[in-house]
Amino acid sequence: MRLTRAFLPTLKETPAEAQIVSHRLMLRAGLIRQTSAGIYAWLPAGLRVLRKVEQIVREEQDRAGAQEVLMPTIQPADLWQKSGRYDDYGKEMLRITDRHERAMLFGPTNEEMITDIFRSYATSYRDLPRNLYHIQWKFRDEVRPRFGVMRGREFLMKDAYSFDLTKEGSEHSYRQMFLAYLRTFQRMGLKAVPMRADTGPIGGKLSHEFIILAETGESTVFYDSKFEGLDWGGTEVGNDDVDGLRGFFEEVTSLYAATEEMHDEAAWAGVDAGSRREGKGIEVGHIFHFGTKYSEPMGLSVAGPDGSPVTPQMGSYGIGVSRLVAALIEANHDENGIRWPDAVAPWKLSILNLKVGDAACDALCEKLHAAMPDDAIYDDRPERAGVKFADADLMGFPWQAIIGPRGAAAGKVELKRRMTGEREELSVEDALGKLLA
C-alpha cells in the first residue's frame, strides 16, 4: 500500500486527553478515533492489529478444543431476570427498550445466553463436556472509561464457556483454558502472570486473572520473580491429559502471585525476600470456575449415566482482545513510537523512499513493494527524510527499508529493525531474503 493512497492519519501533536503512553500512541499513530466517551472507531492500522490479536486468541482456543460460535450483542432482559443478575448489574448495564416495549440490553457478558442456548440442545451426559466461545463486542457503562481502549465502554472480548458433568471434569476444563491463555499471551510476546483473583459479579470461588506487568497498570500485584524466567512455549500437554494438566497447573500456581484484593501477607512472608516483586499490571484475561451458579437457575439439566438428572458444572473464560492492543503498546514502545512485535504488527515493513523522483530510488522501492504488496507500506510522499523517519518510528512496523540516492545507485537498501535499532546495508535480493524468510 502506498502511503499517498493509504488512510494512515498520524498526528504530530500529542492529544491532551491521553494520559498513558498506549493511548497517546494509538491516537498519534492513527489506530483509533474516539467517537463518544469510551467508544472508538478502529482505523486501518488499528484494525489490522486487532484482527491479528483476535486470530491468535482464536487459534489457541481451537487448539484447546473450544468451538467458536457468535452470539448477538443485543440480549433480552428476561434471560438475566432468570439468573437473578438483571437487578444486580446496576448502571453498568446499558438497558434498551424496543418498539414493542420489550426490555433488552447490550450484552456486558454472555453466561445467561450461552446457558440458555446450550440448554436447548443438551439432554444427556454424552453432550458433555463442551466448551463454546465467541469473540464479540461488549458494552459496560463504566463510571470512568479511561486510557483509551484499555478501559472502554464498548470493547472486544473473547469469552468461552465450559459445561461438564462433574466438578473434576470442570476443573480440567479450567486448566485447559489456563494453559491456552499462557500460550496465547506468549505468542504475542507478552509475559502474563496468572494470579489468584476475586470473582466480582461473575461469581464462583476459583478464579485467575492474567496480568501483564506494566507501570501504567490499574491493578497492584505481588508475585514471585521466578515467573519472569518461565517459558511455556514448549509445554506439550494433550487436551485430554488430566494428570499432565493438573501437574502443570499445580507447578505454575505453586509460585506466589496475587492481586491486591487477594494478597495474603502470611503467604507472602514465606516467599524468598530476594524474589518478592511488587508492581502494577494490566489485566488482559480472567477465568472463572463457578459450578452451577448459572446452570441451576437457568434450568440446564441433563440425564446422567444412570439416568438421574445432573446439573452441569460451568466455567467462563474472558480475554480483553481490544485491551490487548493497548497492553501490547505499553509493553513495546520507546520515546519515538510503537515497536510492534512481529506476530501482531499491522504491516511488516515500511519502505522509505528518501528521494522520490530519483530513478534509482523509485525503482528499488517499487521492486520491494511489488514483492510484498500486502505486507508493506511504501512511503512515496514527497516529504523530507526526517518526516519519514519520524512517521515510520511512530507507526512502528518491525522492519524499515531505507532507500536513499547513494545506496540506490549501488543497488543497496538499508534495513532497520525497529525493535532493536540494528541496521545493515544489503542488496535488494538479500533484504527480501530476510524479510520473506
Contact residues toward ligand 5CA (CB under 6 A) are 109, 111, 140, 142, 151-152, 155, 157, 159, 202, 283-286, 288, 316-318, 320, 322-323
Task: Report which of 331, 326, 374, 318 is spatially closest to residue 50, judged by C-alpha positions.
Answer: 326
The minimum distance between CB 346 and ligand 5CA, in angstroms, equals: 20
Q: Which is nearer to ligand 5CA, 329 or 426 (CB)?
A: 329
In the block, cell 509475559 appears at 191
Of the pair 160, 403, the CB lying nearest ligand 5CA is at 160
- Closest residue to bound ligand 5CA by CB: 320
Which C-beta is closer to ligand 5CA: that of 111 or that of 164? Answer: 111
CB atoms within 10 A of CB 63: 14
Alpha-carbon distance 356 to 379, whole Å?
A: 9
Choose between 23 and 151: whose C-beta lies nearer to ligand 5CA.
151
Nearer to ligand 5CA among residue 157 and residue 413 (C-beta): 157
Q: Smaller CB distance to ligand 5CA: residue 24 or 286?
A: 286
Complex with ligand 5CA: residue 194 or 398, whichever CB lies closer: 194
Angle (deg, nearest 10), helices 321-331 and 44-63? 110
The one-letter code for the residue type at 415 is: L
Q: Write the CA distances from 321 to 77, 117, 363, integer angstroms.
A: 26, 24, 40
**Residue 210 Cβ vs ligand 5CA, minimum distance, rounded to whole Å:** 7
Contact call for residues 277 and 222 (beta carbons, < 8 A): yes
Nearest approach in angstroms of CB 196 to ligand 5CA is 14
Amino acid at 36: S
CB of 339 to ligand 5CA, least distance (A): 22
Shortest separation between residue 288's beta carbon and ligand 5CA, angstroms: 6
Cell output for 117 = 442456548
Smallest distance from ligand 5CA to CB 87, Å: 18
Kindly tell me which of 158 and 416 has the beta carbon lying closer to ligand 5CA: 158
Phi-psi region of 148 (alpha: psi -120 to 50; beta: other; left: phi over 0): left
Q: Is the CB of 8 or the CB of 135 nearer to ligand 5CA?
A: 135
Min dist. Cβ of residue 227 to ligand 5CA (A): 18
- List C-alpha distances in Å: 349 to 366, 394, 413, 415: 13, 13, 13, 10
Least separation, in Å, of the C-beta of 151 and ligand 5CA? 5
Q: How far is the CB of 159 from ligand 5CA (least distance, A)?
A: 3
